[in-house]
Amino acid sequence: MQRARPAPQNGFNFEYMMWLFTRISGLALSLLAIIGIIGAFWMGAREQIDVGALLRWTFFPNPFHVVNSEIPDVTIGWATAYWQIMQMMIVFFGVTHGMNGLRMVIEDYLGSPRARILTRSLLFLFWLFLVIACVYVILYS
Amino acid sequence: MTLKRNVGLRGLTYAGGGPMLAWILHRISGLGIIIFVSIHVLAGFSTHVVGSAWGDPVNRIYESLPFQIFIFFCVLYHALNGLRIVLLDFWPRMLEHQRLAIYLQWAIFIPVFGLSVFLMIRSALASG
């Protein structure tokens, strides 16, 4: 049998760090999602909400992102530094959590060290692009 | 070796039970979220920053009802299952009750997801 992935080692190494990060960022994302839902309801989304709008508010509370919703004057509530920081935290935790998860899934099916290096490099570049694109949207909306 | 094995539909009868189902659904829902978010960011970026129009048909796909139901399934299942994993990992004594935890997770997931899908379909029918 070909070994798909090296066995985990003891101690504070990359795999353990990402294991811990996945759990902590998962908890953080749940908390940020709840804060986003409460913020949406606070700003008057009680009447007009549908599931698409709920997901837009919950996971990227950006005035540019929720502009399709039927809330009047949506930019007044959301375009503050507080929500910008919330968005940046969601983007950082979410994209890193997702790209690390994709790395885990891919490496379950990869044998050779060369393929692993290639995947990690590509995923790192994609991670960087997603974070930069999202931060651009946050800062210029 | 693993990659050349032909499992086919016999994989469905593998006696992994609830934990295996949770594991594979966690992977499927995670990949679903990654694919959706990546395409969403790429399409939005190309529409609003680059000024290209290829994102418009993509937008229509993920604003459709079946895709919204699928993505809501992914988000809700991944969140609930992830919370269960965090609880069991950080409090290993709870592992005694891990099958109960999976049943409890379904007991939360099915009503929430069912009610949301009902509301989504009802509002889609009402709006035309």
pLDDT single digits (tens) A31-60: 999 998 888 788 776 666 677 777 777 888
| Cα A56 from Cα A35, distance rounded (Å) | 13
Using CA atoms in the order B121, B108, A95, B3, what is the torsion angle rounded to 10 degrees? -90
* Best residue in A1, A25, A51 for a mutation probing chain B (most B CBs within 10 Å): A51
Query: Among all residues of chain A, which has the CA nearest to that of B75?
Result: A55
pLDDT, residue A54, reads 77
Residue A6 has pLDDT above 70, yes or no: no
The answer to whether the Cβ–Cβ distance between A23 and B34 falls below 8 Å is: no
B37 or B13: whose pLDDT is higher? B37
Contact A78, A66 (CB under 8 A): yes
Q: Which residues of B touch A (CB under 8 A)?
A: 1-3, 27, 30-31, 33-34, 37-38, 41, 44-45, 48-49, 63, 68, 71-72, 75, 79, 82-83, 85-86, 89-90, 116, 119-120, 123
The answer to whether the Cβ–Cβ distance between A51 and B41 falls below 8 Å is: no
| Cα A95 from Cα A127, distance rounded (Å) | 7
pLDDT, residue A47, reads 66
pLDDT, residue A1, reads 43
CA A2 and chain centroid, separation: 33
The pLDDT of A74-96, averaged and rounded, is 83
pLDDT, residue A126, reads 94
Q: What is the largest CA-CA distance in chain A?
A: 61
The pLDDT of B102-122, averaged and rounded, is 92
Q: Measure A1 CA to nearest chain B CA, in Å.
A: 6
Contact B8, B34 (CB under 8 A): no
Q: How does the average pLDDT of chain B come out, rounded?
A: 85
| pTM attached to this predicted model | 0.85
Residue B121 has pLDDT above 50, yes or no: yes
